Structure 1
Amino acid sequence: MTLNVVTLVGRVGGDPDVKYFESGSIKCKLTLAVRRRSRNNDQPDWFNLELWGKTAEVAENFVRKGSLIGVQGSLKFDTWSDRNSGATRSTPVIKVDHLDLLGSKQDTDASAGSYNDSEF
């Protein structure tokens, strides 16, 4: 049995970075700050998020820097070849399948809701 599930709740680090493709697909990138439970750790952990389809559209319309959101998805690694050295590089990314808008209406300018690609 294998399992790759990530669940996070935190604050968005910047406004959504949205790209539309000729195929009609939409992709949204976000960063998420999550505080680790620790007595002496005041710095958050930062995660790169990738959302697609209707979930990306919801993020584009309702998520802003500082918004409190919850996400569920899977961990993947984006890899590329460094232009200067030719070395293979990678970075972890959370591919979001489910997005929850949390917090008050003032936090998000939208009522709290839950969205995922399988519902659309």
Structure 2
Amino acid sequence: MTLNVVTLVGRVGGDPDVKYFESGSVVCNLTLAVNRRTSKSDEPDWFNLEIWGKTAEVAANYVRKGSLIGITGALKFDHWQDRSTGANRSKPVIRVERLDLLGSKRDNEANAYNQGEF
């Protein structure tokens, strides 16, 4: 038996980066800052999130920098070759399967106001 499940709750580090493809697919990329419960420093851990389909559209419409969200997904690694050095590179990415908007409506409206959307 194998298991690859990641569950995180944290604040979004920037507005969603959304891409629409000719095929009709949608992908949304976000960063998520998560504080460790046992950490004595104020530095959060940062995670790269990749969201597809209807869930990506929800993120694009309702998630903004600073939003409190919960996610469940799977860990994967993106691999590529650096164009300038030719070195092989990789980075961990959480492929989100479930997205929960955890902030209250008031928090989301205040966040939108602070982002200049009103």
- The two structures share one fold, judged by TM-score above 0.5: yes
Which whole-Å CA distance do the structure 2 matches of 1:39 and 1:95 have between them?
Answer: 25
Tell me, yes or no, if structure 1 residue 7 matches structure 2 residue 30: no
Deviations along 1:4-24, one digit per CA (max 9) or x if unpaired, are 000000000011000000000
Post-superposition shift, 1:95? 0.1
Alignment of 1:31-110 (within 5 A): 31-109=31-109
Aligned length: 109
Query: Which 5+ residue runs of structure 1 have no aligned equivalent?
Result: 110-120
Secondary structure (helix, strand or coil) at the match of 1:8 reads strand
Which whole-Å CA distance do the structure 1 matches of 2:107 and 2:9 have between them?
Answer: 14
Deviations along 1:25-61, one digit per CA (max 9) or x if unpaired, are 0000000000011251210000000000000000001
Which whole-Å CA distance do the structure 2 matches of 1:35 and 1:15 have between them?
Answer: 19
* Structure 1 segments of 4+ aligned residues over 6 angstroms from their partners: none
Provide the alpha-carbon RMSD of the alignment: 0.9
Report if aligned partners of 1:18, 1:28 keep a CA contact under 8 Å in 2: yes
Partner of 2:115: none
User: Among the aligned pairs, what percent are the same residue?
Assistant: 75
Which whole-Å CA distance do the structure 2 matches of 1:62 and 1:32 have between them?
Answer: 15
Secondary structure (helix, strand or coil) at the match of 1:78 reads strand
Post-superposition shift, 1:108? 2.2
